[in-house]
A = this chain, B = another copy of it.
């Protein structure tokens, strides 16, 4: 297949690392889902050992030597596009992994662990001062890390690029400006609308047994293959696996079936991405999702664009009633579709609806940007947070536990990561624009319970191609346009004004 034996060898090494990562995935899944509780210490040793083994492989000098020989090889230009892309992706990871000195990586990990312990106490006591010094140190460490990765780059740009390849402040500034200007008035008008949804239609006692049946039914509807996956219970829903074995977990709330129902659709969205990458890419760098934000996008496509679509419920409500028996017998389509799309500003990001969620992210982006540009001090963070919450969502934060301390991310130094959480929905809206052109009847099909053509479109355009393209390139290829948030604004404006009868 290639005249470069070093390429073959490099891909063999990559396959070994992939196998180790997949094994780690099984250990982790078992830990969360199956392991008896006394096994924790033993399993921690196994997981730590595997991490060390994987890291050792990732920074192996052998990879560096092979990469060099491949690039200098006289037949390099004969490599196919896919082969060159594989080399590029391995190079990118290898350089990143080897630029960080081992001692520094250890210091960062150690401080993350200590810092997280203090963050827990600080959050429990709603006292930012307990966490303040750790946070200040973490910010310095992350600036140092950014300098290792790219001494000439702007530190926050380096971190943004680290979490979603190709991104920087310039791009985020543009899309968040688009999002903010569109969403702020929309949210305002929805929140003050007279026609508010009626929660009581969904907040009815629904046994776990019934919710489990629903989860299996809706998973099958979107073609999740249980011969290549499983649905189990875990404290926090997640998806893990590779190609032919991708498992999801969900959690149940007897008083709110929407938790497990939409978590199922969300996680199945993740699983379908993994299961539908071109099988010939298996064990190659291109045999992975484009990016974590694109992954999140695919999950939300199933959850929001399908699952919270009134057109889907035109078909599914009858099935839903059949499975749930007497519980939702009296429920009508319109108020039900409205209730599952309720927009209500909340203090806590993870409780936010798909619309106000963006504002939580924009707040964090602006905070991080100012912080890394030294325009904001650590001590100013709590008040900065609280003022923005008031400004964007009209919410008054009463203590730091529900403000700056709400997420664990900063304790781990994950600056530049939150912004990626907004991308998935924006990617989706831009893709949807094209899907509508290619498949004008897509919602009519949903109304009839037909999903195949929509899944085919996603497979062809997004899932199958794996990591052949970086996220911004993929957006451009599929839509012919540069990445923008304007279609997201357009989509939610249409959807929600209709739902709210404005």
Question: What is A's interface to B at a CB cutoff of 8 Å?
Answer: 16, 19-20, 22-23, 26-27, 30, 34-39, 41-43, 45-46, 49-50, 225-230, 242-245, 247
Given contacts A26-B46, A38-B225, 7 further A-B contacts (CB under 8 A): A19-B46, A20-B49, A23-B23, A30-B30, A39-B245, A41-B244, A43-B245
The one of B41, B46, B243, B244 that contacts A22, using a Cβ cutoff of 8 Å:
B46
Q: What's the nearest-Cβ distance from chain B to residue A422, in Å?
A: 33
The one of B42, B50, B227, B244 that contacts A42, using a Cβ cutoff of 8 Å:
B244
Asked if A245 contacts B42 (CB within 8 A), the reply is yes
Asked if B225 contacts A19 (CB within 8 A), the reply is no
Residues of B within 8 A of A39 (CB): 228, 244-245
Residues of B within 8 A of A49 (CB): 16, 19-20
Query: Can you name the residue of chain B whose Cβ is closest to the Cβ of A40?
Result: B244
Residues of B within 8 A of A242 (CB): 42
Asked if B23 contacts A50 (CB within 8 A), the reply is yes
Asked if A34 contacts B243 (CB within 8 A), the reply is no
Asked if A227 contacts B36 (CB within 8 A), the reply is yes
Query: Can you name the residue of chain B whose Cβ is closest to the Cβ of A31?
Result: B26
For the complex, give the distance between the alpha carbons of A35 and B50 in Å.
21
For the complex, give the distance between the alpha carbons of A227 and B37 in Å.
6
A16-B49, A19-B49 in contact; A245/B38 too (CB < 8 A)?
yes
Asked if A34 contacts B36 (CB within 8 A), the reply is no
Asked if B243 contacts A36 (CB within 8 A), the reply is no
For the complex, give the distance between the alpha carbons of A64 and B247 in Å.
42
Q: What's the nearest-Cβ distance from chain B to residue A67, in Å?
A: 23
For the complex, give the distance between the alpha carbons of A380 and B46 in Å.
50
For the complex, give the distance between the alpha carbons of A46 and B20 in Å.
8
Q: What's the nearest-Cβ distance from chain B to residue A53, in Å?
A: 9
Residues of B within 8 A of A19 (CB): 45-46, 49
Residues of B within 8 A of A35 (CB): 245
Q: What's the nearest-Cβ distance from chain B to residue A90, in Å?
A: 19
Query: Can you name the residue of chain B whose Cβ is closest to the Cβ of A37?
Result: B227
For the complex, give the distance between the alpha carbons of A37 and B227 in Å.
6
| 27 A-B pairs in the complex with CB atoms less than 8 angstroms apart | A16-B49, A19-B45, A19-B46, A19-B49, A23-B23, A23-B27, A23-B50, A26-B26, A26-B27, A26-B30, A26-B46, A30-B30, A35-B245, A36-B227, A36-B229, A36-B230, A36-B244, A36-B245, A36-B247, A38-B227, A38-B244, A38-B245, A39-B228, A39-B244, A41-B244, A42-B245, A43-B245
